[in-house]
């Protein structure tokens, strides 16, 4: 029989993280929302110390092979690093999605290094998360003229053969945690740039720019609808020189888009993680509705035939079903990642589904609660604002649907866009 129960280590992780969500995030949720650009240092310091104490440098899953070498016993257990990350992210986002995005340690940038970097690069860039001070990372693809269509990227990387350095020029916008990575800590940012603008996607590679690199500046802070605790910035690179070794993947332009695909593999891990965050916000909203209804003496009669239920009961059950569907797709995508299976399609499916479900559930929750949902007395209106981003970043819902369709139909990007 198939069991959908979570394994014990995941349940334990969930319990530990729940204490953080309840005691450290929820109490400052409103304050952080109202004071955009303030940094939740107490949470950051706590998470930095806690993840180190747990033997992990960051939220980025450890290299499984390395882990196995450290502890042969672990070979006997099924790999669950990505699934554990999902449980953590879901619970932290249930606490507060904006504050979760301020968690120190390897996030999107580390995922890019893990996906496309050499063992030496992984060591060089990821070891900094184990230091005394909390460190952040970021990943930036988006430019004023290039969002969904990454072939429109205009940031360039030119090799100076005399000094063996890359010279980067261009502008990136909407960089999550960009300021924390470059200014507030000794972190790094992974930047997508073109080796040859004529080569289209085949010329695109990712490069690591470390904090304090001359020529790379944060130029603007966005003011946002939701996830306001998280910094979202613009970055300008002006003759920004980085070592040759900071390119992730091959420095030569192949006729194929192999190098570009390597960079795209980052999404196989990050899209389900965004889905997990969406699930946390959606669950927070749904639980809030159920608690308020129960306080009013309204309970959901799950065992009634559908035609005998009230409309409200049917709506709630439909929302719970959608949340479960999205959860199952997300855990499947990350189970596949843990087991080194190609998960690109399921990763996109989970992101489409969870992004949509979070938007629908939070909107419906506000609708059901009426003024309680609209009032700032409760966090529901905030969750409604926080949810939408999950349908936008890491590929919009439409773009992820395209990825799924291409996979099912066997089309290339150029054949279905
Ligand atoms: C708060 C926030 C944080 C972000 N963080 C980061 C980050 O850390 N790093 C980073 O690189 N980017 C980040 N982004 C940028 C985000 O990834 C982009 O906004 C997103 O990829 C969409 O790109 P775009 O804004 O240029 O919209 P566009 O690509 O112009 O799309 C506009 C609309 O058209 C739709 N659309 C576009 N092409 C198609 C198509 N072929 N078929 C159907 N529909 C289509 C889109 O789905 C969307 O609804 C962030 C954005 C926000 C708002």
pLDDT 10s digits, 132-155: 999 999 999 999 999 999 889 999
Over residues 79-98, the mean pLDDT reads 95
Which of 151, 154, 392, 401 for mutating ligand 1's site (highest number of atoms within 8 Å of CB)?
392
pLDDT of residue 61: 63
Whose Cα sits closest to atom 41 in ligand 1? 417
What is d(CA 159, CA 280) in angstroms, rounded to the nearest whole number?
Answer: 43
Three-state DSSP state, 194: strand
**pLDDT computed for residue 91 by the predictor:** 97
* pLDDT(59) > 60: no
**Region 92-105 average pLDDT:** 97
Closest CA to 240 of 203, 271, 267, 214: 214
Ligand 1: nearest atom to the Cα of 398: 47
Q: Residue 97: which of 234, 279, 261, 271 has the closest Cα? A: 279
Ligand 1 centroid distance, CA of 396 (Å) = 6
The residue whose C-alpha atom lies closest to atom 7 belonging to ligand 1 is: 175
| Dist. CA 386–CA 393, nearest whole Å | 12
Taking alpha carbons only, the member of 204, 386, 98, 202 closest to residue 190 is 204
CB crowding 296-315: b at 16 or more within 10 Å, else e: eeeebeeeeeeeebeeebeb
Distance from residue 389's CA to the centre of ligand 1 (Å): 10
Position 30 scores a pLDDT of 98
Determine if ligand 1 sits within 6 Å of the CB of residue 147: yes
Q: pLDDT band for 57, please (50, 70, 90 cuts).
A: low
- pLDDT of 66 reads 53
pLDDT score for 373: 96
User: What is the DSSP code (8-state) at residue 265?
Assistant: T
Is the pLDDT at 73 greater than 70, yes or no? no
- Mean pLDDT to the nearest integer, 328-355: 96
pLDDT band of residue 291 (cuts 50, 70, 90) is very high
Using DSSP, state whether 332 is helix, strand or coil: helix
Whether 389 shows a pLDDT value over 70: the answer reads yes
Looking from the CA of 50 toward its CB, the CA atoms found within 13 Å total 16
What band does 74 get if pLDDT is binned at 50, 70 and 90?
low
Give yes or no for a contact between 276 and 330, defined as CB atoms under 8 angstroms apart. yes
Relative to beta strand 137-140, strand 188-194 is parallel
Neighbouring-strand partners of residue 205: 193
Q: What is the mean pLDDT of residues 214-220?
A: 98
Per-residue pLDDT band at 67 (split at 50, 70, 90)? low
**Cβ pair 226, 220 in contact under 8 A:** no
**Euclidean distance between CA atoms 171 and 145, whole angstroms:** 10
If one residue of 174, 190, 266 were mutated to test the ligand 1 pocket, choosing by the most ligand atoms within 8 A of its CB, it would be 174
- 172 Cα–ligand 1 center, Å: 13
352 lines ligand 1 (CB under 6 A): no
73 catalytic residue (yes or no) = no
Choose between 414 and 158: higher pLDDT.
158
> How far is the centre of ligand 1, averaged over its atoms, from the C-alpha of 12 (Å)?
36
Residue 320 has pLDDT above 90, yes or no: yes
Spatial distance between the Cα atoms of 344 and 403, rounded to a whole number of angstroms: 8
Tell how far CA 305 is from the center of its chain: 39
Q: What is the mean pLDDT of the chain?
A: 92
Q: Are strands 204-210 and 247-248 parallel, antiparallel or unpaired?
A: antiparallel
Q: Is residue 293's pLDDT more than 80? A: yes
pLDDT at 201: 87
Q: How far is the CA of 71 from the centre of ligand 1 (A)?
A: 42
H or E element at residue 417: none
The response to whether residue 145 sits with its C-beta less than 6 Å from ligand 1 reads no
Angle at 93 between CA 91 and CA 94, to 5 degrees: 60
141 CB less than 6 Å from ligand 1? yes
- CB count, 10 Å around CB of 321? 11
| H-helix or E-strand spanning residue 298 | none
Residues linked to residue 120 through DSSP beta bridges, in sequence order = none
pLDDT (tens digit per residue) in 220-249 = 999 999 999 999 999 999 999 999 999 998
Q: Ligand 1: does its nearest atom lie under 6 Å from the Cβ of 399?
A: yes
Band the pLDDT of 90: cuts 50, 70, 90.
very high
At residue 114, the pLDDT reads: 87
Ligand 1 atom closest to Cα of residue 397 = 47
How much is the average pLDDT of 271-289? 97
Enter the tokens of residue 274: 């965004």
Q: What's the rounded mean pLDDT across residues 98-115?
A: 92
Both structure tokens of 238: 């002006």
Work out the angle at residue 320's Cα, subtended by the Cα atoms of residues 317 and 322, and round it to the nearest 5 degrees.
110
Give phi and psi for 57, each to the nearest 5: -80, -20
DSSP string, 302-321: TTS-GGGS-HHHHHHHHHHH
Half-sphere exposure (Cβ direction) of 16: Cα atoms closer than 13 Å: 17
């Amino acid at each position: 029989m198939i069991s959908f129960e979570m394994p014990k280590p995941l349940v334990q992780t969930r319990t530990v993280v729940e204490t953080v969500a309840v005691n450290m995030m929820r109490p400052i949720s409103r304050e952080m929302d109202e004071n955009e650009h303030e940094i939740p240092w107490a949470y950051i310091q706590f998470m930095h110390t806690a993840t180190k104490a747990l033997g992990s440098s960051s939220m980025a899953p450890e290299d499984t092979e390395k882990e196995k070498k450290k502890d042969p016993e672990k070979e006997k257990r099924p790999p669950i690093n990505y699934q554990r990350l999902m449980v953590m992210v879901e619970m932290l986002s249930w606490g507060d999605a904006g504050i979760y995005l301020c968690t120190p340690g390897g996030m999107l940038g580390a995922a890019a290094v893990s996906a496309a970097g050499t063992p030496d690069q992984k060591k060089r860039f990821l070891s900094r998360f184990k230091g005394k001070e909390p460190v952040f990372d970021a990943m930036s693809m988006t430019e004023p003229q290039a969002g969904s269509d990454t072939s429109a990227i205009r940031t360039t990387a030119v090799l100076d053969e005399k000094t063996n350095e890359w010279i980067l020029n261009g502008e990136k916008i909407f960089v999550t945690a960009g300021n924390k990575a470059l200014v507030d800590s000794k972190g790094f940012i992974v930047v997508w740039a073109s080796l040859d603008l004529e080569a289209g996607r085949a010329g695109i590679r990712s490069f690591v720019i470390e904090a304090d690199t001359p020529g790379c500046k944060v130029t603007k802070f966005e003011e946002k609808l939701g996830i306001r605790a998280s910094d979202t910035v613009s970055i300008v690179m002006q003759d920004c020189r980085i070592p040759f070794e900071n390119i992730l993947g091959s420095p030569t332009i192949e006729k194929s888009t192999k190098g570009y695909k390597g960079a795209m593999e980052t999404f196989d891990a990050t899209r389900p993680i965004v889905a997990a965050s969406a699930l946390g916000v959606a669950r927070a909203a749904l639980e809030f509705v159920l608690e308020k209804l129960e306080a009013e003496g309204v309970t959901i009669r799950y065992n009634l035939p559908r035609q005998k239920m009230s409309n409200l009961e049917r709506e709630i059950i439909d929302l719970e079903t959608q949340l479960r569907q999205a959860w199952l797709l997300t855990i499947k995508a990350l189970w596949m990642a843990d087991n080194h299976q190609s998960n690109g399609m399921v990763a996109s499916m989970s992101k489409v589904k969870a992004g949509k479900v979070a938007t629908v559930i939070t909107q419906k929750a506000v609708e059901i609660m009426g003024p309680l949902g609209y009032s700032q007395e409760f966090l529901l209106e905030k969750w409604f604002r926080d949810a939408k981003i999950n349908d936008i970043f890491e590929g919009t819902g439409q773009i992820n649907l395209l990825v799924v369709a291409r996979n099912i139909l066997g089309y290339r990007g150029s054949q279905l866009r």
